[in-house]
Amino acid sequence: MKKIYQQIWELAKPYYQKGRPMDIDHIEWMMKDALLVSEKEKLDDTLLLPLVILHDVGYAEVPQDNPYKLNLRKAHMKAGKKIAKEILEKLNYPQDKIKTISYYVSVHDNWALGDNDIYKKDIILGTFTDLDFIWMTTKKGFPALMKILKKNKKEMIKYIENNEKLVERPFATKTTKELFQKYLQQRKKGLI
Contact pattern from residue 44 through residue 63 relative to Fe ion, giving x for each residue in contact according to CB under 5 A and a dash for the rest: ------------x-------
**132 near Fe ion (CB under 5 A):** yes
Kindly state the smallest distance separating residue 123's Cβ from Fe ion, in Å.
Answer: 18
The nearer residue to Fe ion, 33 or 132, going by C-beta atoms, is 132
SS (H, E, C) the chain: CCHHHHHHHHHHHHHHHHCCCCHHHHHHHHHHHHHHHHHHHCCCHHHHHHHHHHCCHHHHHCCCCCCCCHHHHHHHHHHHHHHHHHHHHHCCCCHHHHHHHHHHHHHCCHHHHCCCHHHHHCHHHHHHHHHHHHHHHCCCHHHHHHHHHCCCHHHHHHHHHCCCHHHHCCCCCHHHHHHHHHHHHHHHCCCC
Kindly state the smallest distance separating residue 92's Cβ from Fe ion, in Å.
Answer: 26
Interface stretch with Fe ion, choices 1-9, 109-117, 122-130, 155-163 (CB under 5 A): 109-117
**109 near Fe ion (CB under 5 A):** yes
Interface stretch with Fe ion, choices 90-98, 129-137, 169-177, 181-189 (CB under 5 A): 129-137
The nearer residue to Fe ion, 132 or 175, going by C-beta atoms, is 132
Binding site for Fe ion (CB under 5 A): 56, 109, 132
